[in-house]
Amino acid sequence: IKHIGVFTSGGDSPGMNAALYAITKTAEVNGINVSGFRKGYEGLIDGDLVQLKSHELQKLTQKGGTILKTARSKRFLELEGRKKALQTLNVNKIDALIAIGGDGTFKGLLAFSEICDIPFIGIPGTIDNDISGTDYTLGFDSAVNTAIESIDKIRDTAESHNRVFIVEVMGRDSGYIGIHSGLMVGADAILIPESDTDFINLLDKVKHYDSDDAFLIVVSEGDEIGAELVSSKIKEVNPNVDLRITKLGHVQRGGNPSALDRMLGIRLGVAAIDALLQGKNNVMVGILNNQLHLTPFEEVVKQHKINDELQDLLKLFSS
Ligand code: F6P
């Protein structure tokens, strides 16, 4: 392997730049050139690439977002788009590809492998932490830290006014940010898609809440009930509450990566090159029980399960 391509795809997540640095550094040590494709699969299709040098990336490990930019490419879903991407790889003599993104990114690589026979390696990068084959995805820890910091601030104002606050956190289909941030801020209720909320219990609690303190509810955006419906149900059982909804939104995606995400980026970046050097193909590198782990793309699925221990915590602290 002489020349590899790398790109970030899907939603950006803190730690992606650290992974790019680690990939480039490890590649250079092994005499491999690295090209970065800009805007995910779009850059592959359009031949939009830049040379990556580790000395330039070194100081960017602390920066959130992705310096390569990212996109959710519709064109790559079509065979036409994938054929153009193949041309780009051939013209630039790329021997292998590393993609940082979510399960959709890896599905794209699997489809691409039907017409392209160079090795592909994936690195899980999404704040949602909803990918099997790894305990943590790049950006999750930073996003939870941002959520906690924001909800702590909301608590200050909630306590000052004796208000009910419903805080919606990110997680398109998953409640990982919700359960983690909810537990850590001492929420009175946490609503996530993976668990049937004891909504009766919540309404009972809020019915008897006599506005002498804050009442914090953390709701995952993927939860089927949703912030608005929770709000109207609460107002039905207790019309006197002073209630606000805050949606934290994309603030959770930005900001400097936490120590854990920088380290994860570095470990997974190095592991991706190692996997290529060992002749691996179509696998995602992840960390399970603090050990590096490879999972074939076919087995990487959206993870929806909250383990039993977390479920018990959820029950205990929502009671
Ligand atoms: O997958 C990461 C994520 O931030 C989800 O939590 C959220 O639902 C989605 O991306 C938002 O996507 P977009 O930035 O395209 O609106």
Q: Which of 244, 277, 239 is nearest to 155 (CA)?
A: 244
Torsion angle defined by CA atoms of residues 168, 171, 174 and 179, in that order, rounded to the nearest 10 degrees: -50
Beta strands in the chain, from DSSP E residues, in sequence order: 3-8, 33-37, 49-51, 96-101, 120-124, 164-169, 189-191, 215-220, 243-247, 283-288, 291-296
Q: Which residues of the chain are modeled with pLDDT < 50?
A: none
Cβ atoms of 216 and 185 within 8 Å: the answer is yes
Torsion angle defined by CA atoms of residues 99, 102, 108 and 111, in that order, rounded to the nearest 10 degrees: 100
End-to-end Cα, the chain, rounded Å = 56
CA nearest ligand 1 atom 7, residue: 172
- The confidence score (pLDDT) of residue 302 equals 85
Indicate whether residue 108 lines ligand 1 (CB < 6 A).
Answer: no
- The confidence score (pLDDT) of residue 197 equals 74
- Which structure tokens are listed for 88? 């780009």
Indicate whether residue 169 lines ligand 1 (CB < 6 A).
Answer: no
172 C-alpha to ligand 1 centroid (Å): 6
6 φ, ψ to 5°? Answer: -140, 145
Please confirm, yes or no, whether 128 is among the known catalytic residues. Answer: yes
| CA dist., res. 114 & res. 112, Å (int) | 5
Burial class of residue 104, CB neighbours in 10 A (0-12, 13-18, 19+): middle
- pTM for this predicted structure: 0.97
- The confidence score (pLDDT) of residue 60 equals 96
Q: Is 170 annotated as a binding residue?
A: yes
CA distances from 144 to 48, 155, 158, 180, 270 (A): 33, 16, 20, 7, 25
> Quick one: which atom of ligand 1 is closest to the CA of 10?
1
| CA dist., res. 196 & res. 159, Å (int) | 28
User: pLDDT digits over 61-100, tens only?
Assistant: 999 999 999 999 999 999 999 999 999 999 999 999 999 9
Cβ atoms of 211 and 239 within 8 Å: the answer is no
| CA dist., res. 113 & res. 105, Å (int) | 13
> Quick one: which atom of ligand 1 is closest to the CA of 177?
6
170 C-alpha to ligand 1 centroid (Å): 7
Q: Which residues is 35 bridged to in the sheet?
A: 5, 51
Burial class of residue 225, CB neighbours in 10 A (0-12, 13-18, 19+): middle
User: pLDDT digits over 219-229, tens only?
Assistant: 999 999 999 99
Q: SS3 letters for 56-118?
A: HHHHHCCCCCCCCCCCCCCHHHCHHHHHHHHHHHHHCCCCEEEEEECHHHHHHHHHHCCCCCC
Residue 138 CB partners (closer than 8 Å, separation 6+): 13, 14, 15, 16, 19, 100, 123, 124, 125, 126, 257, 261, 264, 265, 268
- The confidence score (pLDDT) of residue 192 equals 94
Q: Percentages helix, strand, coil for the chain, rounded to the nearest 5? A: 45, 20, 35
Catalytic residue from among 48, 117, 128, 152: 128
The single-letter DSSP state of residue 249 is: G
- The confidence score (pLDDT) of residue 319 equals 82
- The confidence score (pLDDT) of residue 304 equals 74
237 C-alpha to ligand 1 centroid (Å): 33
| CA dist., res. 254 & res. 127, Å (int) | 10
